[in-house]
Structure formats: C-alpha cells, structure tokens
Amino acid sequence: ALALSLAPVSIAAKREVKIGAVFPMTGPVATYGQESVNGIKLALKKINQEGKVSINLTVEDNKSEPQESANAVTKLINSDQVDAIIGSVASSNTLAGAPIAQTNKVPLLTPASTNEKVTMTGDYISRTCFTDAFQGVVMAKFAYENLKKRKMAIIIDNSSDYSKGLSKVFKKKFKELGGKLVSDEDFAYIQKDTDFRSLLRKIKRTKPDAIFLPGYYTEVGLILKQARQMGLNMPFLGGDGWDSPTLQKLAGAAVSGNYISSHFAPDDKDPRVQAFVKEYEAAYGQKPGVMAALGYDGILVMANAISNAKSTKRSDIQAAILATKGFVGVTGAITIDGNRNASKSAVVLETTPSGNVFNTKVNP
C-alpha cells in the first residue's frame, strides 16, 4: 500500500505586526495627517502584497494638538498593544508623545518632525527625515547667497517648537554669513491667530529686504495675503511647514515669489519619484504632496526593518530600524545615523499659485 505522507507545505513565516499611527486628521494642520495616511496606505498595499510582513494599522487623530498626541500614544500602547508607532508631523505633537513611547520601550519613528529635540528623547525615538539644523542652514544660505538678501526680519510661531528651533538655526547662519536682522527680537504670533496686520505694520517700518517665516501653512497663507495687501512685496522664505496644497488656496496670488525648503519635489525628474507620483495619482486622483511622500517612505523603512529584525519583539524591531542604511525612498536615500536622524538632501522650492516648483537640491 502506498503511504501518503502529508508533508507540510513550506511557507516562509509571515510576520504579523500591529503598528499605531498618530497623525493630525483634523485641526489647523489636517492636510499633513490626511496626506501622510494616504501615503502610508499606498505603501501598505505593496508591503502586504509582497508577503514578508503583514502590517495591521491603527490610525489615531491627534487633532493637531500636543495633549491629544500624548493621549493617542498612550492608547495605542495600553489598549491596542502595538509593536511600533509611526508619527507624528508637527514637532510639538511628536515631542508630547515620544516620552511615553520611550518609557514603554515602544519604537516610535516620525516621518516628518524636524526639530532637533525629537530624537534626543531617547533610544526608541528615530526619524526618516532631515532635521532643522540642516534645513535652517539651507535657507540662510539660499537667502544670502542665491537671493543676495542682507537685512531680514524673522516672524515666528511662538506655539511651535519647530518654528522656534528653525528660526534660531537660520538666524545664527545668516549672521555668520554676514547678514543683518532688523531686530534682535523675533516678531511673533501663535497658532490659530488670523489677523497679522499690526505685526506686519511694525515689520514694514523696519524695511527688511526679505522675511523668514518658519510657520505652518494655515497661518502662513493668511500672513502672505495680508502682507501683499499692505504692500510688503519682498520675498518671504519658509521651511517645510508651508508645504501643503492648502497654502495655495489660502494665499492665492500672494503665494508668488517666495521660497521654501522641503523634502520632496513632485516635479523631480527622478524615475522613482515619477513612478510614485503616477501610482499616487491613480489611487487618489491628485498629485502627492510632501507629506504623502514622507509617510510612504516612513512606513516602508519600518516594514523593511521588521522583515530584517531578529524577531517581532519591540527591542528587535528598534534595533533593525536603527540599522537602516541607504534605503532608497521617494524622498531620497535614508540612513539612520548615530543620533537616530536621517541625513538626506533638501530641496528649495519656489511657491507659485499652481504649486511648488523645484529650484535647487542641497546635499547634506
């Protein structure tokens, strides 16, 4: 008689993990959350199809607020028992959640928070984007060397760690290069302000030849509009915080003639970028913004780390994230350095009513 042996079909064990995502789905920086999650979901389709890892994603809305970000991290760890967390975007939000992830030894990777302090929280906190120490220098040089500006004013968002940190780096570098500031004190507003006219009137009297405005798109959109109405026609310069399609909606024609640093240019000729733009457009019917690209790369780095890790234990996942070297994403090649930051190139974009246009690429 023939003995039938039921040999087990060998399927490489698929790693199943739970990842929590903390993003601003509502509130003043809601486009960051919506675009990030779109980018992440697009990447997840690929990751889950590839079959090495299977990621189950739980998205929490932090409402663009620090306290809500802390609550979201706590919930993801305590009730969802996630293996790792991706998020958030605004540095003040990530800074509020990161200490909780650190204390619980849960890997937290931010695809977008650029403030220096974020990864200093501890060894479980990393990022796949560059920092403001780099971005601030890029813009100070661009102002001084490319635009030949010599006397600048700085307007900061006093409720944002990102804005405060980035202005410091810019100021230091611009002065080092030989530039002057119209005043040693910053002109300041806070998030959700809507009337900037008295602030702009004060600045107008100091006659700057350009203005550095490291804010987020909601307030920046209104500031640009009000500034142009008041005859402040000099260029405004900003950072990645301007990079949202809503900026164009809010500022209209007033967006013209200004420059920002960012992580991604949708008009980049790189075939990898163009393939991503096509894929994203097919899925969502619109061009991807910077946050879509950053979210996409962030989750791909996590998935790659999970498949390389010794096990799906949180400590092994974190060790694998920190071992990331030369991972080629749509926002550039990602290597996590000894301070858990990514050293990557930045792009300078000109903001125009029909979208941001690539100007230059700056390598670290």
Give contact residues for ligand PHE (rule: CB under 6 A). Answer: 32, 89-91, 112-115, 162, 240-241, 243, 290-291
- In the bound complex, what is the minimum distance in angstroms from residue 186's beta carbon to ligand PHE? 17
- In the bound complex, what is the minimum distance in angstroms from residue 111's beta carbon to ligand PHE? 8
Whole-number Å distance between alpha carbons of 91 and 112: 8
Strands 151-157 and 180-181: parallel
Smaller CB separation from ligand PHE, 243 or 268: 243
- In the bound complex, what is the minimum distance in angstroms from residue 94's beta carbon to ligand PHE? 7
Smaller CB separation from ligand PHE, 236 or 309: 236
Residue nearest to ligand PHE (CB): 162
> Is the CB of residue 157 less than 8 Å from the CB of residue 188?
yes
Whole-number Å distance between alpha carbons of 350 and 246: 16
- In the bound complex, what is the minimum distance in angstroms from residue 282's beta carbon to ligand PHE? 23
Cα–Cα distances in Å, from 1 out to 4, 7, 249, 295?
A: 9, 18, 78, 59
Whole-number Å distance between alpha carbons of 48 and 54: 5
| Residue 210: CB atoms within 10 Å | 22
- In the bound complex, what is the minimum distance in angstroms from residue 246's beta carbon to ligand PHE? 11
Smaller CB separation from ligand PHE, 159 or 226: 159
Say which residue the tokens 């675009």 belong to: 35
Q: Is 325 left (phi over 0), alpha (psi -120 to 50) or beta?
A: beta
Whole-number Å distance between alpha carbons of 27 and 4: 63
- In the bound complex, what is the minimum distance in angstroms from residue 113's beta carbon to ligand PHE? 4
Whole-number Å distance between alpha carbons of 136 and 120: 18
Smaller CB separation from ligand PHE, 114 or 341: 114
Three-class SS of residue 159?
coil
Smaller CB separation from ligand PHE, 113 or 226: 113
- In the bound complex, what is the minimum distance in angstroms from residue 133's beta carbon to ligand PHE? 12
Smaller CB separation from ligand PHE, 142 or 264: 264
> Is the CB of residue 212 less than 8 Å from the CB of residue 241?
no
Contacts of 335 (CB under 8 A, 6+ apart): 324, 325, 326, 327, 342, 343
- In the bound complex, what is the minimum distance in angstroms from residue 360's beta carbon to ligand PHE? 18
Alpha helices by DSSP H, the chain: 30-50, 66-78, 91-103, 117-120, 132-141, 161-177, 197-205, 217-229, 245-251, 271-284, 290-308, 314-322
Smaller CB separation from ligand PHE, 40 or 182: 40
- In the bound complex, what is the minimum distance in angstroms from residue 13's beta carbon to ligand PHE? 36
- In the bound complex, what is the minimum distance in angstroms from residue 314's beta carbon to ligand PHE? 25
Q: 3-state secondary structure string, 69-88?
A: HHHHHHHHHHCCCCCEEEEC
Two structure tokens written together for 239: 């950072």
Strand 15-23's sheet: what is its strand order? 53-61, 15-23, 84-87, 108-110, 125-127
Smaller CB separation from ligand PHE, 68 or 83: 68
Smaller CB separation from ligand PHE, 115 or 258: 115
Smaller CB separation from ligand PHE, 241 or 332: 241
